[in-house]
């Protein structure tokens, strides 16, 4: 008997260890301060000066930091690389004083010259950065970017010394400090970029693990394409003592159904989205896991007006009038979204567009008759392109049916992966394209500015000198009421031309574990990671 007991004990121990429940990523993350976050589709690049999708900021803000940072609760500007700044009485000149402790992730000091070199790169016409117009508020930056000025020393940037940076604007810009948190304004390490190719050419492979030099609270450790991006805490970040997270795993998951399953099985602390069909279920059964936060954004369709039939404004307006937006937000999305009849979300820094458009199938049919297509006769089939997402498909199918029912228009739905839709957008290889715009800063200019003739984010082929003129005049106007009146005229002109069809204004509907702390609801969905931590 004594010979059997030790053997039996070993067997029982093996059985117990084999049956023990494995620790989930969330459980180990809570213990080790490793945040596991879903971010939707994979990033095309980690170069902050070439980033366009709003979701790229989720990763880039971990790796880079600008002159100013954001308060974690309301995102008002707080000191970042610059420990303080002065503004001239006329509101034109900002002088930033950089921290002596600001470092690149390789330990080198970060200087004012580094910022100026970075700004010169993004304004290089050869780079073709879509967000370069964000710099047009700076004196003569637009002329340099358009090749009308070749001497960069004449642009409104100056570095009196290594720790002082002076920026002179074309006109007073009340939102300038918040604009500086756009990824385009983050500094890049020119010496590293030039190791792997010309600094002002796209496709330079510098932003990779083992190569990327940043200045944020985290450094890049791993990037498995289509799977995840891993960052770890930087020991040389100037405010490292405040950073409680030891690392972040960003999971790139195209399917929001798969993302929800990963959350449910303990692989994610929080998701990027939630399938529309599961919102009500979580609201009833797990309300503590469901978050519906405000989000300054608009979901819309871009129309390529260079294509036959879509080059007729009456056809474009007919397509817009035939969409029942209330049905989409109430019957499909169910997450507090609001119907969008204008492009700029309501109450954006005090601005709300006085929308005249509504759901009117009769008006839609009348416009088609006026355009020469009574009852949809003579109109060819259109293609509606959207990236992989269960929610995007549900909306597209609803719109497809509305257009068929009200206008007798045949629309084919085309689904592609995120990277392919970005390429189609860039090259104009689409007819109607599912799109989103999340504000880079809280001002209507962040929305209306993307439709100007020189914007790198337009992609529709639509231009209008009158629209450009109105926004230019608004930029030179200090009085808010007068400025907003000019923007009202511009937005009315835009919607009458209809190179886009707004569908709904966003809320951010997602899932989050109770162990995630410091994740405040913010209008831009920005969450400074040094203020985030995990509790068991």
Give tens-digit pLDDT for 183-196.
999 999 999 999 99
Residues 203 and 333 in one domain: no
Mean pLDDT of the region 361-378? 95
pLDDT for the residue numbered 388:
83
Beta strands in 245-344 (DSSP E): 247-252, 290-303, 338-339
Q: Is 26 a member of any domain?
A: no
Compute the distance between CA of residue 511 and CA of residue 272 in angstroms, rounded to an integer: 8
- Residue 186, in any domain of the structure: yes
For residue range 487-515, what is the model confidence (pLDDT) as tens digits? 999 999 999 999 999 999 999 999 999 99
Q: Are both 495 and 522 inside the same structural domain?
A: no
Q: Yes or no: say if 78 and 65 are a contact pair by the CB < 8 Å rule.
A: no
pLDDT at 52: 82
- Give pLDDT tens digits for 117-135: 999 999 999 999 999 999 9
| pLDDT digits 0-9 by tens, 141-160 | 999 999 999 999 999 999 99
Tell me the percentage of the chain whose pLDDT exceeds 90: 88
Determine, yes or no, domain membership for 24. no
pLDDT at 419: 86
User: Over 70: is that where the pLDDT of 11 sits?
Assistant: no
Residues 504, 528, single domain; the answer is no
Q: Over the Cα atoms of the chain, what is R_g?
A: 25
Enclosing H/E stretch for 436: strand 432-438
pLDDT in the model for residue 48: 97
Residues 345, 203 within the same domain? no
Q: Is 462 helix (H, G, I), strand (E, B) or coil?
A: coil
Residue 90 shares a structural domain with residue 112 = yes
- State what percent of residues in the chain have pLDDT above 70: 96
- Give the residue-averaged pLDDT of 204-222: 97
Determine, yes or no, domain membership for 19: no
Residue 392 falls inside a structural domain: yes
Q: Residue 17: pLDDT band by 50, 70, 90 thresholds?
A: very low
Question: Would you say 298 and 340 are in contact if contact means Cβ atoms under 8 Å apart?
Answer: yes
Residue 336: phi and psi, rounded to 5, are 80, 5
CA-based max dimension of the chain: 98
Rounded mean pLDDT, 354-359: 81
pLDDT-derived band at 418, boundaries 50, 70, 90: confident
Query: Given a cut of 60, is residue 520 above it in pLDDT?
Result: yes
Per-residue pLDDT, 44: 86
pLDDT at 54 over 90: no
Of 17-21, 70-74, 319-323, 459-463, give the lowest mean pLDDT range: 17-21
- Quote the domain boundaries for residue 530: 34-248+512-534
Distances (CA, A) of 388 to 42, 421, 491: 12, 9, 30
Do 484 and 391 lie in a common domain? yes
pLDDT at 3: 43
Are 345 and 380 within one domain?
A: yes
Same domain, 492 and 467: yes
Per-residue confidence at 20, pLDDT binned at 50, 70, 90? low
Residues 6+ apart with CB under 8 A from 525: 54, 293, 295, 438, 508
Whether 8 shows a pLDDT value over 80: the answer reads: no
Give yes or no: residues 200 and 167 share one domain: yes
- The CATH number linked to 434 is 3.10.105.10
Secondary structure of residue 288 in the 3-state scheme: coil
Q: Is the dihedral of CA 333, 338, 341, 342 positive or negative?
A: negative
Number of domains in the chain: 2
Residue 472 forms part of a structural domain: yes
Instruction: Let me know whether 91 and 240 are in one domain.
Output: yes
Residues 505 and 520 placed together within one structural domain of the fold: no
Instruction: Report yes or no on 279 lying in a domain.
Output: no
Q: pLDDT by residue (tens digit) across 63-121?
A: 999 999 999 999 999 999 999 999 999 999 999 999 999 999 999 999 999 999 999 99
Q: Using the predicted structure, report yes or no on whether residue 7 has a pLDDT greater than 70.
A: no
Same domain, 199 and 314: no
* pLDDT tens sequence across 380-406: 999 999 998 899 999 999 999 999 999
Q: Can you give the pLDDT at residue 254?
A: 87
Tokens of 5: 């007991």
In a domain, 95, yes or no: yes
Q: CATH code at 73?
A: 3.40.190.10
pLDDT at res. 358? 82
């Amino acid at each position: 008997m004594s010979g059997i007991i030790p053997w039996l004990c070993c067997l029982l121990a093996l059985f117990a260890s084999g049956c023990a429940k494995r620790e989930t990523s969330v459980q180990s993350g809570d213990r080790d301060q490793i945040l596991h976050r879903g971010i939707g589709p994979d990033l095309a690049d980690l170069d902050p000066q070439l980033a366009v999708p709003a979701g790229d900021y989720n990763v880039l803000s971990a790796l880079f930091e600008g002159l100013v940072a954001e308060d974690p609760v309301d995102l008002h500007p707080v000191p970042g690389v610059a420990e303080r700044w002065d503004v001239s009485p006329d509101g034109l000149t900002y002088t930033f004083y950089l921290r002596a402790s600001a470092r690149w992730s390789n330990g080198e000091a970060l200087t004012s010259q580094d910022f100026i070199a970075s700004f010169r790169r993004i304004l290089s016409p050869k780079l073709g950065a879509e967000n370069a117009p964000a710099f047009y508020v700076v004196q003569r930056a637009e002329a340099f970017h358009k090749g009308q000025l070749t001497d960069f020393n004449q642009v409104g940037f100056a570095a009196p010394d290594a720790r002082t940076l002076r920026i002179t604007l074309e006109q007073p810009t009340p939102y300038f400090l918040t604009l500086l948190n756009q990824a385009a304004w983050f500094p890049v390490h020119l010496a590293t970029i030039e190791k792997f190719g010309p600094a002002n050419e796209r496709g330079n492979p510098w932003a990779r693990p083992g190569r990327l030099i940043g200045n944020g609270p985290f450094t890049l450790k791993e990037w498995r394409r289509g799977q995840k991006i891993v960052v770890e805490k930087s020991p040389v970040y100037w405010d490292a003592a405040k950073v409680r997270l030891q690392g972040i795993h960003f999971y790139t998951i195209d399917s929001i159904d798969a993302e929800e399953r990963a959350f449910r099985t303990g692989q994610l602390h929080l998701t990027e989205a939630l399938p529309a069909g599961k919102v009500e279920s979580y609201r009833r059964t797990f309300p503590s896991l469901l978050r519906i936060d405000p989000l300054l954004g608009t979901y819309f369709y871009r129309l390529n007006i260079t294509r036959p039939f879509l080059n007729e404004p009456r056809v474009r307006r007919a397509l817009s009038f035939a969409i029942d937006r209330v049905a989409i937000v109430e019957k499909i999305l169910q997450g507090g979204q609001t119907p969008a009849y204008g492009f700029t979300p309501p109450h954006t820094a005090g601005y709300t567009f006085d929308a005249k458009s509504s759901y009117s199938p009769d008006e839609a049919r009348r416009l088609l008759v006026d355009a020469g297509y009574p009852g949809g006769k003579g109109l060819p089939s259109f293609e509606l392109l959207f990236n992989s997402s269960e929610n995007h498909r549900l909306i597209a199918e609803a719109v497809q049916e509305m257009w068929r029912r009200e206008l007798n228009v045949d629309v084919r739905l085309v689904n592609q992966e995120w990277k392919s839709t970005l390429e189609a957008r860039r090259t104009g290889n689409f007819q109607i394209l599912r799109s989103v715009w999340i504000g880079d800063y809280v001002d209507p200019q962040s929305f209306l500015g993307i439709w100007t003739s020189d914007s790198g984010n337009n992609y529709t082929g639509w231009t209008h000198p009158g629209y450009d003129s109105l926004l230019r005049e608004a930029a030179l106007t200090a009085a808010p009421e007068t400025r907003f009146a000019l923007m009202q005229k511009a937005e009315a002109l835009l919607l009458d031309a209809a190179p886009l069809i707004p569908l709904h204004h966003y809320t951010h509907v997602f899932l989050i574990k109770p162990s995630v702390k410091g994740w405040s609801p913010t209008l831009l969905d920005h969450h400074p990671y040094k203020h985030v931590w995990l509790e068991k």
